[in-house]
């Protein structure tokens, strides 16, 4: 019997809308796009979308998502977009928590250099996501993008890959952590920042969704330890996304950007859009013991123990994610991670093992993520209802080059004059394209050798004077053909410099990001000092007319007897260059003679700092002849800095040839009960000049000379001076530690708030009242 017309029409309608219903089913939980360059000669890239699909409410749509279309356009979306179809690559991987990992890959050759945006969209997001809109969220498409800078100046480039899937559950009241385990095979720097989830717009661009911070979607509660309020944050350096702690169960979507930097230039960005599922787990999360970062010399075998525990005695699964396990991302040998008691209850132990080699030297660190997830113990009544929770930690590994050995030098004859031939042992890591950099300083100089900071530290006084190929073992220093200064104790060090991983020596800037070795031991000529050296410029008294500064120096280590002369010059200001001679001091260089000190009087030390230099004259053919002059050295200048109204801020500077950094400076305050007496109130550990600061809150933090605490009032004046502590780091210069005082600075509290401008008002004059 034929069916009624109504049923036949209904059947046709259902058949027509079935594909659309499937296409718009909710299944996309998370995803990101990455790109890898495949050709040395053309800008051909493998473009990959990694998508994470919901297999509870969106299994049908997930199974039907057999392909994705990439939209490629310039970053601003102003060009004609190109559409590239990418098939799904089998197998589909079940990664747990009712989620599958789906990979779509296309090969594309970009038409030219430039900045491109690669995007993909798919229908649709989950329903009932609490923190995005407009509602209903199942009507919002899923959209992610990646930007890629193709520039010949950067050489080959691969975007970072994200090795850790965003699938872990969050529990109400417990700390949640996610880290993408981003890994850049090129050694580029990685940074992270939050981003607003988007949906697709025109020409490949995205449009921001209505978005609430997950922590503020409902009133925040407490952290896992009971502090208030709860917090949600992304660490810009490590990539740790931490929610401590959720208060309302449900679906939340967040997005963040993984930035890729090379030599200070942003060359790529990946958006990861991910879902956080918060449940009332009724289960305590496991805990993994944090692992400190390490720095190792290439060739070191790393064996790192990893321990995780669960206070409920649940079964534990310990895993690790990193590019170090992938031979397509690093040169072998790759790392391994083994867990002898996988699935044990309460405690699980793993071992990370990596035999590093010279091929692994690079500037950036290698990140390794370790994750523990709990599971139902054998006695759990219904394992299918168990809510698995996770914890994770990241270890960073820096691999540096071995220290070059055997550096020596000898004086050689050279047409330019004074020259030295440097020689060293053959270097251990013979990496194609690597270089040996040669550094020189004009005095014997100690520097710290820090495994986590290889190379020559900034501000050490060394400058690079040349580079040779890594297989070379010699270098001639004749100052670039101009000859070196006679009698100077030149100091030399060498450092090995390595190519960026995967870079060719023909690539521009191929050494950028490649890392360095430790600096070699110093080779110093250690000649007797041929010149005097200024050691002190210390303020003795502060006045506008009777200020006084003592200048000291050490005499050169030359033969005594012949007449010589020091000529001392002074300029006003720390950077002053208008020098005026203030003293001629005759000497025959007799040890112990009082000819290495001058007291400069009648100065305005209250207002001015002063700069000094010393010219040295020796007898040549019976005449005093200028031999050379010293570097300039200024007095210490103390100034007021910003602080709260009930505090006094101080900052100080000194432009001197010795090093005042990495020392402990001293701060003094006048004792008002004993005018003219200064009490040391603090010792300030400083690094570089930017740290020469102190804020006085009235407390005396140095008890050895008596404690004099004060209360700082806005209408009172307080007087200070500081004493810098420095050194030339040169065993020939005594004393080895140099102390110099600033002028006295008298100021009121550091209330730097600008007062309100005065308001002028005029009262009208009543003339009648004056006549009365």
CB proximity list for 209: less than 8 A, separation 6 or greater: 132, 133, 134, 140, 196, 197, 198, 199
Do both 417 and 469 map to the same domain? yes
Do both 612 and 465 map to the same domain? no
Q: Residue 730's pLDDT is what? A: 78
Q: Is 415 exposed, middle or buried (0-12, 13-18, 19+ CB in 10 A)?
A: exposed
Helix H, strand E, coil C: the string for 572-632 is: ECCCCCCCEEEEEEEECCCCCCCCCEEEEEEECCCCCCEEEEEEEEEEECCEEEEEEECCC
Radius of gyration of the chain (CA): 35
Rounded CA-CA distance 302/110 in Å is: 41
Contact present, 296 and 302 (Cβ < 8 Å): yes
Do both 313 and 206 map to the same domain? no
Q: Is residue 245 part of a domain?
A: yes
Do both 318 and 257 map to the same domain? no
- Six-digit token string for 317: 């699964």
Strand partners, 308: 288, 348
Do both 334 and 358 map to the same domain? yes
Do both 72 and 40 map to the same domain? yes
The DSSP output letter for 345 is B
CB proximity list for 2: less than 8 A, separation 6 or greater: none
Q: Is residue 7 part of a domain?
A: no
Do both 290 and 270 map to the same domain? no
Q: Is 198 exposed, middle or buried (0-12, 13-18, 19+ CB in 10 A)?
A: buried
Contact present, 197 and 304 (Cβ < 8 Å): no
Q: What is the pLDDT of residues 605-649, one digit of tens each?
A: 999 999 999 999 999 999 999 998 999 999 999 999 999 989 999
- Cα distances (angstroms) measured from residue 767 to each of 87, 276, 760, 770, 771: 95, 79, 21, 5, 7
Do both 288 and 320 map to the same domain? yes
Please state the length of the chain: 772
CB proximity list for 507: less than 8 A, separation 6 or greater: 155, 156
Q: Is residue 476 part of a domain?
A: yes
All residue ranges of the chain with pLDDT < 70 are: 1-26, 487, 750-772
Percent pLDDT > 90 in the chain is 73
Q: Is residue 394 part of a domain?
A: yes
Do both 160 and 178 map to the same domain? yes
Q: Residue 19's pLDDT is what? A: 36
Do both 623 and 714 map to the same domain? no
Q: Residue 181's pLDDT is what? A: 96
Contact present, 81 and 71 (Cβ < 8 Å): yes
Q: What CATH number does the domain containing 318 carry?
A: 2.60.40.10
Is pTM beyond 0.85? Reply is no
Please provide the distance, in angstroms rounded to a whole number, between the alpha carbons at the two ends of the chain: 119
| Residue from 414, 420, 412, 450 nearest 438 by CA | 420
* 278 three-state secondary structure: strand
Strand partners, 517: 401
- Cα distances (angstroms) measured from residue 582 to each of 575, 587, 601, 655, 762: 18, 16, 10, 20, 59
Do both 560 and 480 map to the same domain? no
- Cα distances (angstroms) measured from residue 547 to each of 523, 598, 600, 608, 664: 43, 14, 8, 10, 26
Q: Which domain holds residue 612?
A: 546-596+605-632
Do both 174 and 286 map to the same domain? no
Q: Residue 21's pLDDT is what? A: 34
| Residue from 180, 227, 132, 253 nearest 34 by CA | 180
- Six-digit token string for 140: 């919002």
Q: Is residue 412 part of a domain?
A: yes
Q: Is residue 758 part of a domain?
A: no
Number of H helices, E strands in the chain: 3, 51
Q: Is residue 762 part of a domain?
A: no
Q: Is residue 390 part of a domain?
A: yes
Beta-strand relationship, 547-554 and 533-541: antiparallel
Residue with tokens 């977009």: 81
Q: What is the pLDDT of residues 138-193, one digit of tens each?
A: 899 999 999 999 887 777 788 899 999 988 899 999 999 999 999 999 999 999 99
Strand partners, 493: 439
Count: domains in the chain = 5
Q: Residue 16's pLDDT is what? A: 36
Average pLDDT, the chain: 90
Q: Residue 487's pLDDT is what? A: 67
């Amino acid at each position: 019997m034929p069916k009624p017309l109504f049923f036949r029409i209904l059947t046709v309608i259902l058949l027509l809308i079935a594909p659309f219903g499937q296409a718009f089913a909710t299944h996309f939980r998370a995803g990101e796009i990455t790109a890898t360059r495949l050709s040395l000669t053309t800008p051909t890239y493998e473009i990959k979308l990694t998508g994470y699909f919901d297999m509870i409410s969106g299994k049908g749509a997930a199974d039907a998502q057999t392909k994705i279309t990439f939209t490629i356009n310039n970053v601003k979306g102003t060009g004609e977009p190109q559409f590239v179809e990418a098939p799904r690559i089998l197998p589909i991987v079940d990664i747990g928590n009712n989620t599958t990992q789906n990979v779509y890959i296309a090969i594309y050759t970009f038409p030219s250099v430039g900045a491109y945006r690669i995007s993909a969209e798919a229908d649709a997001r989950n329903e009932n996501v609490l923190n995005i809109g407009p509602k209903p969220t199942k009507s919002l498409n899923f959209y992610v993008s990646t930007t890629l800078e193709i520039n010949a100046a950067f050489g080959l480039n691969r975007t970072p890959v994200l090795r850790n899937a965003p699938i872990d559950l969050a529990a109400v009241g417990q700390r949640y952590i996610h880290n993408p385990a981003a890994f850049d095979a090129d050694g580029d720097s990685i940074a992270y920042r939050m981003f607003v989830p988007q949906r697709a717009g025109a020409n490949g661009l995205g449009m921001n969704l209505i978005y609430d911070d997950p922590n503020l979607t409902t009133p925040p509660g407490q952290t896992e330890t009971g502090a208030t309020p709860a917090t949600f944050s992304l660490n810009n350096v490590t990539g740790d996304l931490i929610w401590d702690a959720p208060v309302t169960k449900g679906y939340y979507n967040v997005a963040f950007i993984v930035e890729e930097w090379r030599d200070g230039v942003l060359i790529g960005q990946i958006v990861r859009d991910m879902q956080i599922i918060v449940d009332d787990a009724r289960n305590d999360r496991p805990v993994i013991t944090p692992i400190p970062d390490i720095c190792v010399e290439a060739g070191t075998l790393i064996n790192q123990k990893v321990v995780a525990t669960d206070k409920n005695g649940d079964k534990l699964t310990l895993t690790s994610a990193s590019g170090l396990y992938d031979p397509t991302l690093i040169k072998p040998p790759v790392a391994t991670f083994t867990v002898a008691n996988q699935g044990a209850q309460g405690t699980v132990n793993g071992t990370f093992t990596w035999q590093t080699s010279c091929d692994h030297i690079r500037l950036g660190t290698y990140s390794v993520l370790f994750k523990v997830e709990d599971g139902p113990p054998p006695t759990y009544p219904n394992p299918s209802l168990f809510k698995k929770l996770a914890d994770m930690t990241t270890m960073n590994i820096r691999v540096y080059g071995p220290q070059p050995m055997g550096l020596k030098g000898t004086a050689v004859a050279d047409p330019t004059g004074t020259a030295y031939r440097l020689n060293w042992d053959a270097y251990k890591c013979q990496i194609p394209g690597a270089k040996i950099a040669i550094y020189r300083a004009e005095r014997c100089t100690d520097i710290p050798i820090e495994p986590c900071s290889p190379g020559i530290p900034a501000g050490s006084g060394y400058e690079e004077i040349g580079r040779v190929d890594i297989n070379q073992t010699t270098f001639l220093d004749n100052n670039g053909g101009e000859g070196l200064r006679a009698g100077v104790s030149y100091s030399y060090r060498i450092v090995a410099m390595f190519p960026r991983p995967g870079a060719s020596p023909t690539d521009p800037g191929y050494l950028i990001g490649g890392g360095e070795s430790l600096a070699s031991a110093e080779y110093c000529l250690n000649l007797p000092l041929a010149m005097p050296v200024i050691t002190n410029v210390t303020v003795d008294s502060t006045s506008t007319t009777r200020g006084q500064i003592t200048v000291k120096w050490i005499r050169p280590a030359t033969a005594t007897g012949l007449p010589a002369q020091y000529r001392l010059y002074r300029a006003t200001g720390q950077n002053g260059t208008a020098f005026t001679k203030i003293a001629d001091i005759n000497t025959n260089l007799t040890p112990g003679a009082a000819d290495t000190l001058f007291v400069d009087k009648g100065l305005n030390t209250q207002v001015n700092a002063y700069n000094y230099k010393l010219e040295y004259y020796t007898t040549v053919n019976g005449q005093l002849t200028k031999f050379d002059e010293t570097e300039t050295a200024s007095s210490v200048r103390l100034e007021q800095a910003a602080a709260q109204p009930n505090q006094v801020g101080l900052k100080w500077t000194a432009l001197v040839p010795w090093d005042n950094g990495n020392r402990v400076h001293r701060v003094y305050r006048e004792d008002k009960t004993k005018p003219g007496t200064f009490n040391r109130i603090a010792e300030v550990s400083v690094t570089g000049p930017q740290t020469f600061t102190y804020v006085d809150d009235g407390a005396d933090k140095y008890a050895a000379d008596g404690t004099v605490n004060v209360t700082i009032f806005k209408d009172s004046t307080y007087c200070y001076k500081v004493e810098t502590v420095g050194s030339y780091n040169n065993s020939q210069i005594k004393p080895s530690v140099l102390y110099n005082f600033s002028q006295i600075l008298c100021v009121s509290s550091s209330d730097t708030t600008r007062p309100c401008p005065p308001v002028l008002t005029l009262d009208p004059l009543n003339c009648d009242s004056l006549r009365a």
